[in-house]
Structures are given as structure tokens and as C-alpha cells.
Amino acid sequence: MTAIESTGLVVAGAVVLFAWNRFPVVVVAIAAALSLWALGVVTLEQALAGFGDRAVMFVASLFIVSAALEKTGVTAWAGQILIAKAGEDNRNRLLLIVMAAAGCLTALISGSGAVAALMPIAVMAAIRLRQSPAQLLMPLAFAAHAGANILLTGAPKNILVSEALEDRGLAGFGFAEFALVGVPLLAGTMLIILLLGRRLLPKQGVTRLPADLSRHAQTLVEHYGLSDGIARLRVRAGSSCIGLTPSELDVAQHGKLVLIAVQAGASGEPRGPGAIEESDYVVLTGEAEAIARLCAERHLAPRDEAETADAPGTLLNARTGLAEVVIPPRSDFIGRAVHPGMTTAGGDLIVLAVQRGGLDLDPQDSTLRAGDTILLKGSWKALDLRLADADVLVVDSPDLVRRQAVPMGDGARTALAVLAALVAMLATGAVPPAAAALICALALIGTGILSVEESYRAIHWTTIILIGAMMPLSTAMIQSGAAQLVADHLVALTGGAGPTVFLAGLFLLTACLGQIMSNTATTMLVIPIAMAAAVSMGVSPRPIMMSLCVAGAASFMTPIATSTNLMVMGPGGYAFGDYWRLGLPLMIWFFVMAVFYVPLIWRF
């Protein structure tokens, strides 16, 4: 069996197994790479080379950047803006905003970078609207494909076709010249997805939607009856509170009051076990008469009503948060007396409420039993540390709450600065994409925004393994001569029928190869064939090169076609066969643009 036949057999087998969806995609991909080695088409080094490829490191680093944006609350902030613009129940407007953002951002950096930045925002928006993420993530990836044709920096294939013209002594494409076809492509893509997406996209990609924690604080405030009487009192000069520690400040003697926290005046950070100072703030809840009595007796100044009315904002913000825990059977806390206002030994967490069966615990019977719930407040760091204790069960992870409910938390400015640096490096080309993404990932770890362990968890390893394992397939297609053989037959069949028919054949060849090869590799393969055909037909190569560029972006039919398709596969819960349903009408749209529209702008 020749190398071409072996390659064709492996490619066909891989496509069938991917479509069958009986085996994990990573198993099929690795098996395909090993089969090419076993058949002698590629060496073992070539079969494994994909795992060290720059694209693998680039995509892995983008997952880390995306996780940092999510952890610091940047995605929560952007998601709130997105929801505000789209409306709480307007799916179509949200879809348009997400796709427009993806297309425009891809034009500046890359499809992978745009999808990595917008994917957590889209997932959060889907959760808020009670939609499946599958309804947003594939449109996000496909809009990025269209946006890659707006500017020269949108994708490597754009640079390749422009350089091919320059190598022939012709003028290359201008930086924004691609927009003449890219903008209509993006507009048409958005319209098709808007009209057909609801029917063609999976209704429920993932088995279970994550909880919507965006209103977590409000939910807890209402459930535990903390919505009335939240007050933030400033410690005046001469107050009897000065010099006391939070644990020594007994507010209950002034009435039915519960101390929530003591905050340092300058920073707003929890005071902890340290002594209370002038201009600190005492945050508590209780009856208005008791609060007034406390202010008079302790020489405290009440804040403006507008500032104290926002209970959720007071309890949950960038510095401090809430956590609800359940006492499990066999917990060491069973039998201990707990009441609102108590603090942990270090003073870093305070008990806001204790309930049994949904009702406040009787002060006369405050010993804990299995199943009791406790509402705690403290710094995010203290919550993360203390709630790792096996003696309590956390209802909602503080980390998840912080990601969804706290916009622009600690480290948000640093994460945004790193993202801006990444965009600048990718847009200017000053640093290779893989190096730029790695630098930014290291910066996020070095500044403490993410730990090494969190970085490992942020990477979607199925995507990374799939990218690395599929690269030998592209190598085999080129090295064996299989792709060249197909291309030569295309020229023989269509070259004599005129440039329009040739463009149609060129599109089909490029788009079909692009479903199993990277569009960069496909473009590199087809460029010399397209140039030779232009010379033999006596026409300008400019429309042919631009048509090739459009065809290279029509990678909609399989998840292995591009890294962006792979990036959304896991979070969207897509199967291999989900892509072609929406991908087919989009490919027809790209075909029309490449074959009939492009020659109207760039004449033969």
C-alpha cells in the first residue's frame, strides 16, 4: 500500500470514527497519529511533534488567560454589561452582541484569542438567561471564522496570500482591504445564525447548567432575613469602641443586633483580630431603634441611608464574601454552641445566622446538630482557607460565587493589563503568538492571580490533546502527496472551464481539506496551485487569492477543523456531528461570497 493510500485510509477511518461518536475523540485522534506511524507514512517524531507545536502552547496559554479573567471578576463585569445591553430575556440581541464582539476582536488578534476571551462571558450570559451554552458557543466560534477576514492580522492565512502576491512582484493586500469581503461575510454569518441557529443548534449541549450565582448575596440576604437593618457605622474620635477588638465589641447588649464585620477605615478590609481605630466602620444588622441606641451610647456616626441600604453590596464585594455551610453527620462541630455574632478564633470569619429546617435557631437551644446551616462572612482568603475543613459542607463554593457575583474583584486591573498586553502583542506582531500567550500566562501566575494548580485546572486538556494529535494528519497529507494529487486533479477538471468554475472548484478543495487540516496548512498547499492556474488562465491572481482566503475560513463542518471549534466543544457539550448542521448553510454562504462576490470587488 502506497503512502497516499495509507493516508487516505487513516483519514477516512478517523472521520468515520469521529462521526460515529462511540469512542472519545482524543482516543481516535491519537490512534490516527499512531496508525500513520505504524504504516510508515510519518516517523515517530513526526507523529508526536504536534504536542510540542506552537499552536498547542498558544491555545493552552489562552485557557490560562481566560481563567484569570474569570477568577478576578472581569468576565462577571463584562457579562453584566452584556446582559444589560441585551436585556434579561432577549436571546437574539445577546447572540448578535456576542457574535459582533467575536468578529471584531478576531480581526485584531486571532480567533483563538477572541474565543478564549469571550467564551466565559458567553457561558455566564447563557446561565443568566437560562439558556444552554450550546446556543451561544458555536455561534461565537463561527463568527470568529468570519471576523478573521476583516483585517490582515485576523489569521495567518491572510498574511500568506498577501505575501504570495508580493513574491510574484504584485502589490499585496492592504491592512484593511480584507474588510471589503470580511464585513459582509460577518454580517451574513450573523444573519444566518440568527435565523437558523435555534433550530440547528443543540437544545441542551451540557447535561446540567451551572447554578446562576450572580444574585447570590441577595438570595442569602432574603433567605436569612438580613435584608432589614443593615448599617455601616463610622467610629468617631472618642468612641468607646476604640481599642476594643471585634470579639470584645458586644453589640447585643444594646438590643437585638448582630455584628457583621469591622472594616479598616482607609482600605475597607476586615479589621481581623486587631484593635478598632478611629474612622473604622462597624457593620451590623438589627432593629433601627437598637442601631440608634448603639450610635448614641458608643459615639458612632451612621452613614447615609443610600450607602447602607445595599445589603448585598455590603456583605459581598471585591474584598469580602459570604458562604453558606451545612453541618454534616459526624462533624466535630455537632454539639457546639453557635450564635449570630460569634467569630472564629482568628476573628477572620463571623457567624451571621444559624438555621435549622429553614428557621432561625432558638437562642435557648443553640447547640449544632447535623443538617444545621450557618451563614458566614469574611475575607475571600479566609473563606477559601477555613471552608476546606471536612467538618462543614459548603453549599456554593466561594470561588464560584466570586467568579460570577463579584465584578472587578482583586487582581482585575492586573488581569486586564495582561489581556491588553496580549492584544497589543498579537495585533502588532511584535512577539510570536505562542510566546506572547506564554508570557501573559506566566505573568498571571507570577503576580499571584492564578496558582500553578489553578492553571493546570484551567486548561481544557481534551482540546490540547486533540490539536496535538491531529497535526500529524496534516503532515501526512502533504508529505505523502495525497493533498497535491487531489489539487492536481482539480486543476485538470476545472481549469479549462473559466475562472468562475475554477474558483468553485478551488473553494470546494480548500474547504474540504480545511475540515481535517489546519487552514494555514491548507492555504500553504493550495497557494502555488492557485497561482499556477491564474497564470495559465491569463487572469489576475488577486481575486483567486482572496477567494482562497475566504475558503480557508469556511471550517465549519467538524470540531477538528480549527482550534476555535475545539475550544467550544467541551464547554458547549457538542458532539462531533453537531457542527455540520449549522456549518452547512454557512459554508454555502461562504461559497457564494468566494465564487461570485469576490470577483466583483477584485476583477479578473
- Can you spell out the DSSP letters for 358-397? TEEPPTTS-B--TT-EEEEEEEHHHHHHHTT-TTSEESS-
Q: What is the DSSP string of 509-555?
A: HHHHHTTTS-HHHHHHHHHHHHHHHHHHHT--HHHHHHHHHHHHT--
Element (H, E) at 18: helix 3-20
Q: Give me 543's grid cell.
A: 481575486
- How large is the angle between the packed helices 74-86 and 54-71, nearest 10 degrees? 80
pLDDT at 443: 97
Beta bridge partners of residue 325, listed in sequence order: 374, 394
pLDDT at 311: 53
**Does position 298 have pLDDT exceeding 80, yes or no?**
yes
The pLDDT confidence band at residue 205, using thresholds 50, 70 and 90, is: low
Judge whether 358 lies within some domain.
yes
Spell out the residues 6+ positions from residue 275 whose beta carbon is closer than 8 angstroms to its own.
242, 243, 244, 245
**Does position 285 have pLDDT exceeding 50, yes or no?**
yes
Asked if residue 565 lies in contact with residue 579, where contact means CB atoms within 8 angstroms, the answer is: yes
Q: What are the tens digits of pLDDT across the range 418-451?
A: 988 987 887 777 888 889 889 999 999 999 999 9
pLDDT at 79: 67
The pLDDT confidence band at residue 227, using thresholds 50, 70 and 90, is: low
Q: How far is Cα 73 from Cα 68, in angstroms, rounded to an integer?
A: 9
Weakest mean pLDDT among 3-17, 45-59, 117-131: 117-131
pLDDT at 21: 67
pLDDT at 374: 92
DSSP label of 233: E
pLDDT at 300: 92
Weakest mean pLDDT among 398-407, 409-418, 458-467, 538-547: 398-407
Give the pLDDT mean for 37-43. Answer: 93
Q: What is the DSSP string of 408-424?
A: T-TTHHHHHHHHHHHHH
> pLDDT over 90 for what percent of the chain?
24
What single-letter amino acid sits at 477?
Answer: M
pLDDT at 305: 46
Element (H, E) at 445: helix 433-446
Q: What are the tens digits of pLDDT across the range 305-343?
A: 444 445 555 667 767 788 899 999 989 889 998 887 777
Spell out the residues 6+ positions from residue 36 whose beta carbon is closer than 8 angstroms to its own.
6, 7, 10, 42, 47, 472, 473, 476
Return the higher-pLDDT residue of 571 and 405: 571
Weakest mean pLDDT among 18-22, 229-233, 377-381, 501-505: 18-22
Q: What are the tens digits of pLDDT across the range 136-189?
A: 899 999 999 999 999 876 777 887 788 788 877 888 888 788 999 999 999 999
What single-letter amino acid sits at 161?
Answer: V
Judge whether 536 lies within some domain.
no
Give the pLDDT mean for 537-552. Answer: 90
pLDDT at 152: 79
Return the higher-pLDDT residue of 249 and 129: 249
pLDDT at 308: 45
**Does position 417 have pLDDT exceeding 90, yes or no?**
yes
Residue with the three cell numbers 463585569: 77
Weakest mean pLDDT among 150-154, 230-234, 346-350, 352-356: 346-350
Helices (H), ranges, 129-178: 134-147, 156-167
Q: How far is Cα 468 from Cα 79, in angstroms, rounded to an integer?
A: 32
The whole-angstrom distance between residue 363's C-alpha and the CA centroid of its chain comes to 46
Give the pLDDT mean for 215-222. Answer: 74
Helices (H), ranges, 201-250: 216-223
Element (H, E) at 356: strand 349-356
Beta bridge partners of residue 378, listed in sequence order: 321, 349
Judge whether 476 lies within some domain.
no
Judge whether 67 lies within some domain.
no
DSSP label of 210: P
Asked if residue 132 lies in contact with residue 209, where contact means CB atoms within 8 angstroms, the answer is: yes
> pLDDT over 70 for what percent of the chain?
89
Give the pLDDT mean for 347-368. Answer: 82
Judge whether 164 lies within some domain.
no
pLDDT at 306: 42
Weakest mean pLDDT among 60-74, 158-172, 199-213: 199-213
- How large is the angle between the packed helices 54-71 and 461-479, nearest 10 degrees? 160
Q: C-alpha angle 477/478/480, rounded to 5°?
A: 70
pLDDT at 141: 93
pLDDT at 209: 52
Give the pLDDT mean for 500-528. Answer: 81
What totals of helices (H) and strands (E) does the chain contain, helices first? 27, 9
pLDDT at 309: 45
Helices (H), ranges, 447-498: 452-458, 461-479, 482-494
Q: Give me 550's grid cell.
A: 475566504
pLDDT at 314: 60
Weakest mean pLDDT among 25-34, 62-71, 594-603: 62-71
pLDDT at 326: 94
**Does position 496 have pLDDT exceeding 70, yes or no?**
no
pLDDT at 190: 96
pLDDT at 513: 80
Q: How far is Cα 320 from Cα 270, in angstroms, rounded to an integer?
A: 8
Beta bridge partners of residue 235, listed in sequence order: 300
The enclosing domain of 220 has a CATH number of 3.30.70.1450
What single-letter amino acid sits at 177?
Answer: E
Q: How far is Cα 462 from Cα 106, in angstroms, rounded to an integer?
A: 23
Return the higher-pLDDT residue of 150 and 212: 150
- The phi-psi region of residue 37 (left if phi > 0; otherwise alpha if psi is between -120 and 50; otherwise beta) is alpha
Q: How far is Cα 354 from Cα 374, in angstroms, rounded to an integer?
A: 5
DSSP label of 274: S
Q: What is the DSSP string of 198-256?
A: HHHS-S--SSSPPP--TTHHHHHHHHTT-SS-EEEEEE-TT-TTTT--GGG--GGGGSS
Asked if residue 240 lies in contact with residue 299, where contact means CB atoms within 8 angstroms, the answer is: yes
Beta bridge partners of residue 257, listed in sequence order: 286
What single-letter amino acid sits at 328?
Answer: P
Q: How far is Cα 223 from Cα 319, in angstroms, rounded to an integer?
A: 23
As a dihedral over the C-alpha atoms of residue 127, residue 128, residue 134, residue 140, rounded to 10 degrees, the angle is -120
Domain extent at residue 365 = 215-395
Judge whether 300 lies within some domain.
yes
Q: pTM, whole model, 2 decimals? A: 0.69
Average pLDDT, the chain: 82
Judge whether 414 lies within some domain.
no
Radius of gyration of the chain (CA): 30
Give the pLDDT mean for 209-222. Answer: 68
Judge whether 373 lies within some domain.
yes
User: Dihedrals φ, ψ of 597, to 5°?
Assistant: -80, -45
Altogether, the residues listed in the chain come to a count of 604
List for the chain the helix, strand, coil content (%; round to 5): 60, 10, 30
Q: Give the number of domains in the chain.
A: 1
